[in-house]
Structure 1
Amino acid sequence: MDQNQSSSSKADRKTIEKNRRTQMKGLYTELNSLVPPQNSREVKSLTDQLDVAEKYIRKLQIKVEKMKEKRECLMENNPNARLYGGLATQPRIEIHESGNAVVLNLVTGLECEFMFNETIRMCHEEGLDIVNASFSVTENSVFHTIHSKVGEFAQEGAIDRVTEKLNTFVAGST
């Protein structure tokens, strides 16, 4: 019975060791899959693969530190930068007119959603009819595009007045 127990425990240890090696092999494979592929076609030893992974991780750590420093530098130079955890976008507006048509391109930060509504209100005040309005969001900026035309009840010089109002409004918001 002593012999059966000893051979049984040896088998258990072998199974445990085999499972451990299989698990480690899977972990090495997973680690290797996270590292960008190397150009060489030769099969690398496990030690070489670990060295490549270590160098890659260290390079990423350095890159992250540099990016943190750059972010801090940018945030120090922009007093509004702490909004939404990143750089705030300074509002700006471009106004293009062609005959009775006006296209407004308004760029704001995520925190300035009121500016779009105010822009639409000012256009209506001066008698511009909104034909189409759209927006898109990228990172911390919102790009608004407003297509409008001079309405039939607009007074002479409506485009000039709305242009002046919008430029003053956007300049006062920065």
Structure 2
Amino acid sequence: MLARTYRQNGPLRREFYSKFNKDEKYFKGKLSELASNRIFRFFLPRSAVVMSNIVLPAGKNSVIEIDHIIISKTGIYIIEEKNWRGTYYCGPDSWYVMTGYNKFKPIKSPEKQHERHYRFFIKWMIKNGFGQYIDMVKPTLLLNRMEFYHSGYIKMNFYRFPFLLLFDIYDDYFTEKKRIPKEVIDKIAQKLAST
């Protein structure tokens, strides 16, 4: 099968990574993301494109980094991946990590972070002439290794393992009516790669 891959190498990405302090936590996160990237590439069809660590403009003097983007005939999946250990409570407005018996500490919500990614990705799609496909953009959380005390308030699609996401992508091949032509998949990927 082996999905195709494009690597972003535009000026925005180079500038973003030149300022980055790469500590041990950074590399652990990137290793897990690399494993997910390999799973996506190996199990998705050749018509799909897998991209990782995509940096896009997010307003004046600001950028976002999207962990993975899968562009397939049936949708564009923008994926925020978290590889946190522990037990989490997801409330309507905030997320919390369990620090002891019935003790929780507030943390930044990956869902709110990814909602921001989604907004700027939609703006990028429109600005670059792909506005007719924005209804096919599917923001997705990949929450590896996390245990949930309560997850009922998560509004986005979320998955605990990359393979579960793959099952839904394949399911979309049978249920989604609208399709993205291969030429458009390639144009979106090429434009992202050069950003």
> TM over 0.5, yes or no?
no
Q: Structure 1 or 2: larger strand share?
A: 2
Higher relative contact order (CA 8 A, sep 6+): 2
Q: Structure 1 or 2: larger helix share?
A: 1
Structure possessing the higher radius of gyration over alpha carbons: 1
